[in-house]
Structure 1
Amino acid sequence: MPNSADVLWFKTQFQASIEPRLVGLPFTVDFITAIACQETGHVWSVLRSKRMTTKQVLALCVGDTLDADKGRSAFPKTKSDLLAVPGGAQMFDLAHQALVDMAVHIPGFAAVAKKPNKFCHGFGLFQRDLQFFKTDPDYFLQRRYEHFDDTLDMCLGELKRGLKKLGFQGRSELTTLELCAVAIAYNTGGFNPKKGLQQGHFDGKQFYGQKIFDFIQLAQTVALPGNAPQLAAPAMGLAMMPAPSPVVALGDFFRVDTREGMLRVRSEPKISDPEQANVIGHLPDGHPVRAVTKKAEGGFREVETSLAGALLHGFVSQKFLVAASDVADIPVVAPADSLPGSGVVAVSMPRKPGRITRRTDPAGAHSLNESGQPTRQGASPDELRVELAAIIKWLAVDNPAHKRYQPRDGLTFCNIYCHDYCHLAGAYLPRVWWTSKAAIALAKGQTVEPLIGETIFEVRANDLFRWLREFGPDFGWRQTGTLSKLQQAANQGGIGLIVARRKEDGKSGHIVAVVPETPEFSARRDAAGEVTSPLQSQAGASNFRYGNGKPNWWNGEQFAESAFWVHA
């Protein structure tokens, strides 16, 4: 798989040729780089290190040797299909020799290259398929695919058809997910929003769309000398997270003024039935918002704001807004890159020397410390996803032998499961936390010993809701505003949480982990492709490693408020 050094080579060789060809198109150099990485990166990333010229590398960018017996359905399915059309014999000789020449340098193709009837079906850096030989034989026979401008022309032509198919023609800019949709259409001829990125060729681990997303983000971390990359590459064991979205509304500024409780932000300008069903966020009293529209309609004003890093765009009751002429901007909270080294610092339950806390033990205040615990240390999204899957498998929340998570005596342990998941993944989510008195002392610079019942207490789901809001950003957490963003963060190997606080403090809130989609398990999406039920993993009244849960459960009438959180 191409890495950042390979991407830098590609941009060094071709960015100057790509940029003028993208004028008037919503494509980016990073997107074109991602297509090249996916189509032939396994070839040119090897060849570039062999002191070959760029011309030699381009000539050897060929591949795809699958025939009908391996699932190919397009022309030519077999050698005989190719030989049966005009120029087919010449094309076969060229395609077979191209395979032989490439396989000298790419060991994975050596065995198939020895078979006399095998030949390549894909040609050029962006892999034009041989199914087009019938209508454009000269592209192949004249080896125009060996010239970068020609193979780029072919790629852009196919991508433009994808734009038209998806209704994106005329757009000047596309989101990363929209670019991936175009790439999927480029690969398959169509795109189904309900499937998200799990579309296109499946290699046994990932789909084409998922790989394109990963490669776009990789490309965004690499820039030519003298330029700043769009994204900063994360440290080992951390996922690549986009920066929090800023408020873009241009209307008047207001402040929330309820004098009662939190102000609900709704997805539509009306109170739903049940009342919580269309709530997408809760704003604290005094929080600034910016109007999208000049006037309220039906008592609701469309607004935007940022809350703990989450962009919220929705409708709020006008009667709970007051003009705020002193507000000139709405700040966007960004999570800290490292844990606090002083003041109110991370704390865990002290343990006696030699004590081991196991999954098979009843739930308690200590964190797990079994030997052989899996961790998250990968350097790529794929490695991080594999590691998170290994953590879920190891925790085995649904295993009756793992008493730590099994409900008993009316108690459930969603908070402990999420703590363990985050703990193994290297994201701090407290199992115990400082008392108010201890936190005040720490903030003054005093030394405080963690003593259960004296200076620290066990954290429940309701406590975690409050902790994330008050301390989360200092420990690497931030809110996100939509389920689609939440799921995508998890899909990149990050940590996602949904937390809901009960109206009655004596009753349990709920917290679940939102986890990376797999070939077997996925989020639910609507017809527009927006996530409606993310892929979740939980302990609770029912325990499951992967599931979608009850739709919109976090907006249940038993909960006072809810939020979505992400951690790199």
Structure 2
Amino acid sequence: MEKYIAPATSLPLSDNTIQNSLIIKADLLPDPESQLDSMEMKEKPIADSSIPFRDLTNSTTKKESIARLINKLNVKNNIRYQRTVEDTYCNVYSYDYCYFNKVYLPTVWWTPEALKKILEGQEVEAIFEETVDRIYSSAIHDWFLEWGASFGWKRMFTVDDIQNEVNNNGGIGIICAKRKQKGLSGHIVPVVPETDVNKAYRENGIVVYPLQSQAGKLNYNYFAKARKDWWNNELYSSHVFYYHE
């Protein structure tokens, strides 16, 4: 039996907790070609009115609608999230999950030139491969530390805390890990509310492996113990846990 690495805590990297009122979302518009049954336009929101958004009425409706969303996105089977020879799509799935949960997570982000103009108070339109480019999981790790607070994200430090917040409040949890080797893929995974059937893995009442949903080399609608504490893998230089109401 494999041993888990304890405690399952996030590394103490410095994060910017001061919100910047000038920074804005780098959002592209939904595209008719961006669909669950297509590999096209992954950088844009899905244009599908049948996909449910999170119901923000109360914690119960939030959790129930998250379960419906996970079922609808069906990351295990839908073409949009299937790995290719070159790529996996953890960032695309995490973006879609957050988008329909009405929480901002970037799938594209401002170029350095565009960001400079925005922080100077200039208006900048999000234009793909001109003012914005794709952002991948290792860079999203750094984005959380620099910009997460400006978009309502709160840093957490244990998987037990993040699972409890998600369970109690119907919010959005994220684990994001950065690769040691520059240019190689990190990983990003939503932490999701437990259901009657799908549970986090606990020891002595403490969450060791939270309930997650992911695209990657293997896609899971739900998993906990299957990938252990993957964020502690020696491939990664650091990891962060974040939560959003």
8 Å contact from structure 1 (residues 422, 429) kept in 2:
yes
**Would the aligned equivalents of 1:277 and 1:556 in 2 still touch at CA under 8 Å?**
no
Aligned to 1:348: 27
2:181 aligned residue (504, 516, 537) = 504
Partner of 2:75: 397
For residue 237 of structure 2, the aligned residue among 560, 564, 568 is 560
Match for residue 190 of structure 2 among 513, 538, 555: 513
Map Cα deviations across residues 359-386 of structure 1 (whole Å, 9 max, x no partner): 1110521111212220112322111110
Pick the aligned partner of 1:450 from 113, 126, 130: 126
Does the CA-based 8 Å contact 2:76-2:220 persist in structure 1? yes
What's the counterpart of residue 56 of structure 2?
A: 378
Q: Which amino acid aligns with 1:485?
A: D
What root-mean-square deviation, in Å, do the aligned CA atoms of Structure 1 and Structure 2 show?
2.2
CA distance in 1, matches of 2:62, 2:30: 30
State which of 91, 99, 107 in structure 2 corresponds to 1:431: 107
- Is the CA contact (8 Å cut-off) linking 2:200 and 2:211 kept in structure 1? yes
Matches of 1:407 and 1:427, distance apart in 2: 25
Q: Is the 8 A contact 2:153 2:242 kept in 1?
A: yes
Q: How does 1:30-69 map to 2 (within 5 A)?
A: none
CA offsets 1:96-134 (integer angstroms, 9 cap, x no match): xxxxxxxxxxxxxxxxxxxxxxxxxxxxxxxxxxxxxxx
Contact 1:500/1:509 (8 A) holds in 2:
yes
Query: Superposition pairs for residues 329-344 of structure 1, below 5 Å?
Result: 333=17, 343-344=22-23
Specify the code of the residue in structure 2 equivalent to 1:382.
T
C-alpha deviations, 1:218-256, integer Å up to 9, x for none? xxxxxxxxxxxxxxxxxxxxxxxxxxxxxxxxxxxxxxx
The residue aligned with 1:460 is 136
AA matched with 2:221: R
Percent identity between the two aligned chains: 34
Match of 1:312 in 2: none
User: Which deviations, in whole Å up to 9, do the C-alpha atoms of 1:157-180 show, x marking residues without a partner?
Assistant: xxxxxxxxxxxxxxxxxxxxxxxx
Separation (CA, whole Å) in 2 of partners of 1:381 and 1:278? 28
**d(CA) in 2 for partners of 1:278, 1:485:** 12
Structure 2 SS opposite 1:564:
strand
Give distance in 2, aligned partners of 1:463 and 1:556: 18
Distance 1:389 1:278, change over 3 A: closer
SS in 2 for 1:421: helix
How far did 1:515 drift? Answer: 0.5
2:242 aligns to what SS in structure 1? strand
TM-score (norm 1): 0.40
The separation in 2 between residues aligned to 1:525 and 1:373, in whole angstroms, is 32
Larger Rg: 1
**Contact 1:277–1:552, Cα closer than 8 Å, also in 2:** no
Q: 2:12 aligns with which of 274, 277, 283?
A: 283
From the superposition, tell whether residues 350 and 380 of structure 1 become closer, same or farther in structure 2 (CA, over 3 Å). closer
User: Are the aligned partners of 2:43 and 2:108 in contact in 1 as well (CA < 8 Å)?
Assistant: yes
The answer to whether structure 1 residue 367 and structure 2 residue 45 are counterparts is yes
State the shift of 1:451 in Å.
2.2
Indicate conservation of the 8 Å contact 2:29/2:45, yes or no. Answer: no
Unmatched tracts of structure 2, length 5 or more: none
Amino acid at match of 1:562: H
Amino acid at match of 2:67: A
The structure showing larger relative contact order (alpha-carbon pairs under 8 Å, at least 6 residues apart) is 2
Which residue of 2 is the match for residue 387 of structure 1?
65
1:419 aligned onto 2:148: no
The answer to whether the 8 Å contact 1:422/1:428 transfers is yes
The residue type equivalent to 1:283 in the other structure is P
